[in-house]
Amino acid sequence: MSYILQKKIANTFREQIMKKGFNHVSVSSLMRILDIRRQTFYDSFQDKYDLLEWQLNDTLEETIDNNIDYLHWKEILKLFIYEIDAHKRYYYECLTVQTEVNVADIFATHLVVLLAHVLERQELISNKKAQDNMWILCLGISTTIIHNVTTPNPVDYELIVKQAINAIEYSFES
């Protein structure tokens, strides 16, 4: 299946989750909306959880991984957190309704890609303590973002961006 068709399925999936909620979106309903055959869907995805994981990774690759050579890491971090904030309903459903896909790990894995780039520029990439710190820091940032999406009283995403940047800068100054 082409990337374009995968993307079309994933975008429709995301729209439907935001409208109806995760539990009310099925592979059959996606096939009806997109007017595709069952096999077309299963050529790329095992089920809606596999589609969810693909969609999350694809979005974060576009937001984080693909921008590393073009934008400053702080801008990429801001884009990432803005993406989550702009589609809060979608991420809320992904985080609170389903348990098959570990969203925190997906977030952290892509943040590690970003921070590895920062470590490289500071010539710390071979430093074991810096690497350990990077993973823990990425999990902490992921958890903070997830908490903000799932809490009844979220803070403005700009505050989380500031806190994450401060934590990263402080960690690599030490």
pLDDT band per the 50, 70, 90 thresholds, residue 1? low
The pLDDT value given to residue 174: 59
C-alpha Rg value of the chain to the nearest Å: 17
What is the C-alpha separation between 46 and 61, in angstroms, rounded? 21
Q: Give the dihedral sign, CA 77/74/58/123.
A: negative
Q: Record the pTM.
A: 0.91
Evaluate whether 169 touches 131 at the Cβ level (below 8 Å): no
For helices 157-173 and 103-121, what crossing angle results, to 10°? 50
Average pLDDT score, the chain:
93
Torsion-angle region of 46 (φ positive above 0: left; ψ -120 to 50: alpha; else: beta): alpha
- Which residues are within 8 A (CB) of 134 and not within 5 positions of it... i.e. 6 or more apart? 112, 115, 116, 119, 171
pLDDT of 171 above 90:
no
For the segment 99-116, the average pLDDT, to the nearest whole number, is: 94
Q: What is d(CA 86, CA 48) in angstroms, rounded to the nearest whole number?
A: 22
For the stretch 34-76, pLDDT in tens is 999 999 999 999 999 999 999 999 999 999 999 999 999 999 9
Sorted by where each starts, the structural domains of the chain and their CATH numbers stand as: 47-173 (1.10.357.10)
